[in-house]
Amino acid sequence: MENLTYRRCLTIAGSDPSGGAGIQADLKTFSALGCYGMSAIVAVVDENTVGVTGVHPVPVGFVEGQIRSCLDDIGADAVKIGMLHSAELIEAVRRTLDDYQSLTDIVLDPVMVATSGDALLEADAVGALREVLIPRARVITPNIPEAEMLLGRRIDGQADLPAFARALSAACGGVSVFLKAGHLSDARLIDVFFNAESDDMLFLESERLPTVNTHGTGCTLSSALAAMLARGASLNDAARGAKDYISEAIAAGAKYRIGHGHGPVQHFCRWWS
Protein backbone atom coordinates (compact mmCIF):
# COMPACT_ATOMS: atom_id res chain seq x y z
CA MET A 1 0.00 0.00 0.00
CA GLU A 2 1.27 3.48 -0.90
CA ASN A 3 2.31 5.61 2.07
CA LEU A 4 0.99 9.12 1.54
CA THR A 5 1.99 12.12 3.63
CA TYR A 6 -0.05 15.09 4.77
CA ARG A 7 0.90 18.74 4.68
CA ARG A 8 0.71 19.50 8.41
CA CYS A 9 -0.30 22.75 10.10
CA LEU A 10 -0.35 23.49 13.82
CA THR A 11 -2.36 26.36 15.25
CA ILE A 12 -1.55 27.83 18.67
CA ALA A 13 -4.51 29.97 19.66
CA GLY A 14 -7.70 30.33 21.69
CA SER A 15 -10.98 28.59 20.99
CA ASP A 16 -14.22 30.14 19.77
CA PRO A 17 -17.29 28.09 20.74
CA SER A 18 -19.37 29.82 18.05
CA GLY A 19 -17.03 28.41 15.40
CA GLY A 20 -16.15 31.53 13.44
CA ALA A 21 -12.74 32.50 14.79
CA GLY A 22 -9.78 31.13 16.72
CA ILE A 23 -8.88 27.45 16.69
CA GLN A 24 -12.14 26.52 14.99
CA ALA A 25 -11.58 28.92 12.08
CA ASP A 26 -7.96 27.82 11.78
CA LEU A 27 -8.81 24.13 11.52
CA LYS A 28 -11.55 24.82 8.96
CA THR A 29 -9.11 26.85 6.88
CA PHE A 30 -6.38 24.22 7.01
CA SER A 31 -8.86 21.57 5.88
CA ALA A 32 -10.32 23.73 3.11
CA LEU A 33 -6.82 24.31 1.74
CA GLY A 34 -5.71 20.70 1.82
CA CYS A 35 -3.73 20.48 5.06
CA TYR A 36 -3.90 18.28 8.14
CA GLY A 37 -4.70 20.55 11.09
CA MET A 38 -3.59 20.27 14.71
CA SER A 39 -4.17 22.62 17.62
CA ALA A 40 -2.65 23.74 20.91
CA ILE A 41 -5.39 25.60 22.78
CA VAL A 42 -4.13 28.49 24.92
CA ALA A 43 -7.49 29.67 26.27
CA VAL A 44 -11.14 28.75 26.27
CA VAL A 45 -12.96 31.89 25.18
CA ASP A 46 -16.63 32.53 25.95
CA GLU A 47 -17.77 34.38 22.85
CA ASN A 48 -20.22 34.44 19.98
CA THR A 49 -20.98 36.74 17.06
CA VAL A 50 -22.01 39.54 19.45
CA GLY A 51 -18.96 39.71 21.71
CA VAL A 52 -16.58 38.16 24.22
CA THR A 53 -17.93 37.39 27.67
CA GLY A 54 -14.82 35.83 29.22
CA VAL A 55 -11.43 34.22 28.68
CA HIS A 56 -10.36 31.16 30.67
CA PRO A 57 -6.60 30.64 30.22
CA VAL A 58 -5.12 27.16 29.88
CA PRO A 59 -2.11 26.70 32.23
CA VAL A 60 1.07 27.71 30.44
CA GLY A 61 2.81 24.38 31.07
CA PHE A 62 -0.15 22.56 29.54
CA VAL A 63 0.07 24.74 26.42
CA GLU A 64 3.74 23.83 26.09
CA GLY A 65 2.80 20.17 26.45
CA GLN A 66 0.23 20.38 23.65
CA ILE A 67 2.77 21.95 21.30
CA ARG A 68 5.40 19.34 22.06
CA SER A 69 2.91 16.47 21.76
CA CYS A 70 2.06 17.56 18.23
CA LEU A 71 5.56 18.42 17.07
CA ASP A 72 7.34 15.44 18.64
CA ASP A 73 4.92 12.93 17.16
CA ILE A 74 3.38 14.32 13.95
CA GLY A 75 5.58 17.32 13.22
CA ALA A 76 4.48 20.37 11.25
CA ASP A 77 5.24 22.03 7.94
CA ALA A 78 3.90 25.36 9.20
CA VAL A 79 2.64 26.93 12.41
CA LYS A 80 0.01 29.62 12.83
CA ILE A 81 0.01 31.57 16.12
CA GLY A 82 -3.07 33.50 17.14
CA MET A 83 -4.34 34.93 20.42
CA LEU A 84 -1.74 34.80 23.20
CA HIS A 85 -3.19 36.71 26.12
CA SER A 86 -0.20 37.19 28.45
CA ALA A 87 3.54 37.91 28.44
CA GLU A 88 4.15 34.66 30.33
CA LEU A 89 2.43 32.66 27.61
CA ILE A 90 4.22 34.53 24.82
CA GLU A 91 7.60 33.77 26.40
CA ALA A 92 6.65 30.10 26.89
CA VAL A 93 5.62 29.68 23.25
CA ARG A 94 8.90 31.22 22.09
CA ARG A 95 10.88 29.00 24.45
CA THR A 96 9.08 25.90 23.19
CA LEU A 97 9.43 26.72 19.49
CA ASP A 98 13.13 27.37 19.96
CA ASP A 99 13.53 23.61 20.51
CA TYR A 100 12.38 23.09 16.90
CA GLN A 101 14.76 25.29 14.93
CA SER A 102 14.04 23.55 11.62
CA LEU A 103 10.47 24.86 11.84
CA THR A 104 10.69 28.21 10.06
CA ASP A 105 7.30 28.73 8.39
CA ILE A 106 5.62 30.47 11.32
CA VAL A 107 2.77 32.90 10.70
CA LEU A 108 1.81 35.10 13.63
CA ASP A 109 -1.47 36.97 13.82
CA PRO A 110 -0.95 39.57 16.59
CA VAL A 111 -4.50 39.33 17.93
CA MET A 112 -5.18 42.13 20.38
CA VAL A 113 -8.84 43.06 19.91
CA ALA A 114 -11.79 40.95 18.73
CA THR A 115 -14.00 42.04 15.82
CA SER A 116 -16.57 43.03 18.45
CA GLY A 117 -14.05 45.44 20.00
CA ASP A 118 -13.32 43.34 23.10
CA ALA A 119 -9.68 43.28 24.29
CA LEU A 120 -7.96 39.90 24.01
CA LEU A 121 -4.39 40.79 25.02
CA GLU A 122 -3.19 42.03 28.40
CA ALA A 123 -1.66 45.51 28.19
CA ASP A 124 1.80 44.45 29.38
CA ALA A 125 2.00 41.70 26.75
CA VAL A 126 2.37 43.96 23.70
CA GLY A 127 6.08 44.51 24.31
CA ALA A 128 6.69 40.79 24.82
CA LEU A 129 4.88 40.00 21.60
CA ARG A 130 6.97 42.53 19.65
CA GLU A 131 10.34 41.76 21.22
CA VAL A 132 10.15 38.07 22.12
CA LEU A 133 7.88 36.18 19.74
CA ILE A 134 7.51 38.16 16.51
CA PRO A 135 11.24 37.85 15.67
CA ARG A 136 10.74 34.04 15.67
CA ALA A 137 8.01 34.31 13.02
CA ARG A 138 8.43 34.45 9.26
CA VAL A 139 5.31 36.54 8.65
CA ILE A 140 3.00 38.65 10.79
CA THR A 141 -0.52 39.66 9.73
CA PRO A 142 -1.61 42.73 11.74
CA ASN A 143 -4.63 44.85 11.02
CA ILE A 144 -4.23 48.61 11.30
CA PRO A 145 -4.98 49.01 15.05
CA GLU A 146 -2.62 46.13 15.85
CA ALA A 147 0.13 47.57 13.64
CA GLU A 148 -0.26 50.95 15.34
CA MET A 149 0.04 49.35 18.78
CA LEU A 150 3.14 47.40 17.79
CA LEU A 151 4.95 50.40 16.28
CA GLY A 152 3.52 53.18 18.46
CA ARG A 153 2.56 55.33 15.47
CA ARG A 154 -0.68 56.16 13.71
CA ILE A 155 -1.65 55.27 10.15
CA ASP A 156 -3.48 58.14 8.48
CA GLY A 157 -4.48 56.48 5.22
CA GLN A 158 -3.77 53.99 2.44
CA ALA A 159 -0.68 55.86 1.26
CA ASP A 160 1.00 55.21 4.64
CA LEU A 161 0.79 51.42 4.45
CA PRO A 162 3.92 50.52 2.41
CA ALA A 163 6.30 52.63 4.53
CA PHE A 164 4.55 51.50 7.71
CA ALA A 165 4.95 47.83 6.78
CA ARG A 166 8.68 48.36 6.18
CA ALA A 167 9.09 50.22 9.45
CA LEU A 168 7.20 47.54 11.37
CA SER A 169 9.39 44.86 9.83
CA ALA A 170 12.54 46.71 10.85
CA ALA A 171 11.26 47.21 14.39
CA CYS A 172 10.40 43.52 14.76
CA GLY A 173 13.59 41.79 13.68
CA GLY A 174 13.11 41.77 9.91
CA VAL A 175 9.87 39.78 9.78
CA SER A 176 7.71 39.95 6.64
CA VAL A 177 4.49 41.92 7.13
CA PHE A 178 1.02 41.37 5.67
CA LEU A 179 -0.68 44.64 6.66
CA LYS A 180 -4.46 44.46 6.35
CA ALA A 181 -6.35 47.56 5.24
CA GLY A 182 -9.84 46.56 6.34
CA HIS A 183 -10.13 49.34 8.94
CA LEU A 184 -9.71 52.07 6.31
CA SER A 185 -12.76 53.55 4.61
CA ASP A 186 -11.49 53.64 1.02
CA ALA A 187 -13.81 52.27 -1.66
CA ARG A 188 -11.27 49.60 -2.63
CA LEU A 189 -9.57 47.37 -0.06
CA ILE A 190 -5.83 47.20 -0.76
CA ASP A 191 -3.74 45.17 1.67
CA VAL A 192 0.04 45.41 1.40
CA PHE A 193 2.53 42.60 1.81
CA PHE A 194 6.16 43.46 2.48
CA ASN A 195 8.41 40.49 1.78
CA ALA A 196 11.41 41.24 3.96
CA GLU A 197 13.37 38.37 2.39
CA SER A 198 13.24 39.77 -1.15
CA ASP A 199 12.35 43.43 -0.46
CA ASP A 200 9.19 43.03 -2.56
CA MET A 201 6.08 45.09 -1.83
CA LEU A 202 2.84 43.56 -3.06
CA PHE A 203 -0.45 45.44 -3.33
CA LEU A 204 -3.31 42.99 -2.88
CA GLU A 205 -6.61 44.52 -3.94
CA SER A 206 -10.15 43.26 -3.48
CA GLU A 207 -13.70 44.56 -3.49
CA ARG A 208 -14.92 45.99 -0.20
CA LEU A 209 -18.22 44.24 0.53
CA PRO A 210 -21.04 45.71 2.66
CA THR A 211 -21.33 42.80 5.11
CA VAL A 212 -21.27 42.34 8.88
CA ASN A 213 -19.96 38.79 8.45
CA THR A 214 -16.32 39.52 9.27
CA HIS A 215 -15.91 37.47 12.45
CA GLY A 216 -12.64 35.56 12.27
CA THR A 217 -11.30 37.16 9.09
CA GLY A 218 -7.87 37.75 10.65
CA CYS A 219 -7.64 34.18 11.96
CA THR A 220 -8.67 32.83 8.58
CA LEU A 221 -6.21 34.95 6.59
CA SER A 222 -3.22 33.99 8.72
CA SER A 223 -4.21 30.31 8.69
CA ALA A 224 -4.55 30.40 4.92
CA LEU A 225 -1.08 31.90 4.62
CA ALA A 226 0.33 29.15 6.85
CA ALA A 227 -1.45 26.48 4.80
CA MET A 228 -0.04 27.89 1.56
CA LEU A 229 3.48 27.82 3.01
CA ALA A 230 2.95 24.26 4.27
CA ARG A 231 2.06 23.25 0.72
CA GLY A 232 5.34 24.65 -0.57
CA ALA A 233 4.29 28.04 -1.95
CA SER A 234 6.81 30.86 -2.11
CA LEU A 235 6.27 33.71 0.32
CA ASN A 236 4.80 36.00 -2.34
CA ASP A 237 2.55 33.28 -3.75
CA ALA A 238 1.40 32.35 -0.24
CA ALA A 239 0.41 35.98 0.39
CA ARG A 240 -1.47 36.18 -2.91
CA GLY A 241 -3.15 32.82 -2.33
CA ALA A 242 -4.23 33.72 1.20
CA LYS A 243 -5.66 37.03 -0.04
CA ASP A 244 -7.62 35.26 -2.78
CA TYR A 245 -9.00 32.72 -0.33
CA ILE A 246 -10.14 35.20 2.33
CA SER A 247 -11.73 37.40 -0.35
CA GLU A 248 -13.70 34.43 -1.67
CA ALA A 249 -14.68 33.34 1.85
CA ILE A 250 -15.93 36.82 2.78
CA ALA A 251 -17.91 37.13 -0.46
CA ALA A 252 -19.51 33.72 0.01
CA GLY A 253 -20.20 34.30 3.71
CA ALA A 254 -21.90 37.62 3.02
CA LYS A 255 -24.87 35.71 1.57
CA TYR A 256 -25.69 34.07 4.90
CA ARG A 257 -27.40 35.26 8.06
CA ILE A 258 -26.06 33.59 11.19
CA GLY A 259 -26.07 34.94 14.74
CA HIS A 260 -27.04 38.42 15.90
CA GLY A 261 -23.72 40.19 15.40
CA HIS A 262 -20.66 39.70 13.19
CA GLY A 263 -21.17 36.38 11.44
CA PRO A 264 -18.33 34.20 10.09
CA VAL A 265 -16.88 33.88 6.62
CA GLN A 266 -17.66 30.78 4.55
CA HIS A 267 -14.51 28.72 5.03
CA PHE A 268 -15.58 25.96 2.63
CA CYS A 269 -16.67 28.30 -0.16
CA ARG A 270 -14.60 26.31 -2.67
CA TRP A 271 -16.37 23.10 -1.72
CA TRP A 272 -20.04 23.87 -1.03
CA SER A 273 -22.51 26.74 -0.78
Q: Is 208 exposed, middle or buried (0-12, 13-18, 19+ CB in 10 A)?
A: middle
Cβ-proximal residues to 94 (8 Å cutoff; 6+ apart), any chain:
132, 133, 136
- Domain boundaries along the sequence of the chain: 8-253
Residue type, 124: D
pLDDT value for 115? 58
Compute the C-alpha angle 80/84/258, nearest 5°: 75
Straight-line distance from the first to the last Cα atom of the chain, in angstroms, rounded to the nearest whole number? 35
Other residues' Cβ atoms within 10 Å of the Cβ of residue 139:
27
**Catalytic site includes residue 218:** yes
Crossing angle of helices 235-253/217-230, nearest 10°?
Answer: 140
Superfamily of structural domain 8-253: Ribokinase (3.40.1190.20)
For the chain, give the mean pLDDT: 94
Annotated active-site residue in 35, 172, 219, 269: 219
**Catalytic site includes residue 216:** yes
Annotated active-site residue in 28, 80, 180, 243: 180
pLDDT band at 124 (very low <50, low <70, confident <90, very high): confident
**Catalytic site includes residue 180:** yes
Annotated active-site residue in 82, 218, 253, 263: 218
**Catalytic site includes residue 115:** no
State the pairing for strand pair 176-179/188-195. Answer: antiparallel
3-class state of residue 249 by DSSP: helix
Q: Is the model's pLDDT at 116 over the cut of 70?
A: no
Per-residue pLDDT of 151-167, as tens digits, reads: 999 998 999 999 999 99
Annotated active-site residue in 214, 243, 253, 263: 214
Annotated active-site residue in 11, 115, 141, 217: 217
**Catalytic site includes residue 241:** no
State the pairing for strand pair 52-57/36-47. Answer: antiparallel
Q: Is the model's pLDDT at 262 over the cut of 90?
A: yes
**Catalytic site includes residue 49:** no
